[in-house]
Amino acid sequence: MKGQPIIWQRIRWQRIRWQHLGALLPLVLLGMAERAIAHGVVLEYNATQAYEVTAAYDTGTPMAEAQVAVFSPDNPSEPWMTGTTDAEGRFLFTPPSPGNWEVQVRQAGHGDLVVIAVEGEAIAAAPTAESGSPSTEATDTTDTPGVDTETAMESPATTLTPGESSNSGSSSPSITGLQRGLMAGSVVWGFVGTALFFSQRNPTTKR
């Protein structure tokens, strides 16, 4: 006699719970359709066209941890993005639209500016891939070894965009050690010639 109300109570509670669950069910299904409403993490990856800027001093030492500012073609005064180079002086960015993108690299009052002419075709949507196995790699790039110019950039050869002409450039012309030596030598010879000219022309000179 005494137990009956308790049983009824339990049944009532269970009903209430089921009613609640029933109300939640569409939400749960919706959540599954939207993939992640709460704690589930889904990683997707796309292959895109990225530009790699390699910054090095003219001695060949990479500019590690140097600050980089990227200016979009539309707004040359406010940086579109900022960042720092890695230990090898490399910095990677993906311009979303064609135009002349300016990349400024700066460290301790030294630095340079390079203008990257991004063509329309280079930005054409690369095929996107979605996979069950998540990957944190956003871009697919190849390394660019042996860059000895002050600031050089190299476009990566993405595997999903075959036949793309890889364009690269530099903020300063790359000259070999021999050319450098010749240039320095000719300038020095100019100075020595000036010295010789003035010392001969003027016999009262002290030299």
Is 192 a residue that touches another protein (CB under 8 A)? yes
By CB under 8 A, tell whether 106 contacts another protein.
yes
Q: Are 105 and 151 in contact (CB under 8 A)?
A: yes
Q: How far is the CB of 122 from another protein (least distance, A)?
A: 25
Among positions 27, 28, 117, 188, the unique one binding another protein when judged by CB under 8 A: 188
Please tell me the distance from the alpha carbon of residue 58 to that of residue 5, in angstroms, as a whole number. 89
Question: Distance between CA atoms of 48 and 39, rounded to whole angstroms?
Answer: 28
Q: Does 69 participate in binding another protein (rule CB under 8 A)?
A: yes
Give one DSSP letter per residue of 73-124, joined into a string: SS-SSS-SEEEE--TTSEEEE--SS-EEEEEEEEETTEEEEEEEEE-HHHHS
Smallest separation, CB 146 to another protein (Å): 19
Q: Which residues contact 84 (CB under 8 A, 6 or more apart)?
A: 65, 66, 67, 68, 91
- Nearest to another protein of 142, 174 (CB atom): 174
Query: Toward another protein, which CB reaches closer, 46 or 67?
Result: 67
Site string for another protein, 29-68 (x = CB under 8 A): ----------------------------xxx-x---x-x-
Q: Would you count residue 202 as binding another protein (CB under 8 A)?
A: yes
Contact flag: residue 111 with another protein (CB under 8 A):
yes
72-110 burial, b if ≥16 CB within 10 A, otherwise e? Answer: bbeeeeebbeeeebeeebbbbbebeeeeebbbbbebeee
Using the minimum distance from each CB to another protein, give the nearer residue, 58 or 164. Answer: 58
Residue (28 or 195) nearer to another protein, CB: 195
Q: How far is the CB of 115 from another protein (least distance, A)?
A: 10
Spatial contact of 95 and 15, defined as CB atoms under 8 Å apart: no
Separation of CA 104 from chain center: 12
Q: Which residues bind another protein (CB under 8 A)?
A: 57-59, 61, 65, 67, 69, 78-79, 82, 84, 104, 106-113, 150, 172, 180, 183-184, 187-188, 191-192, 194-196, 198-199, 201-202, 204-207
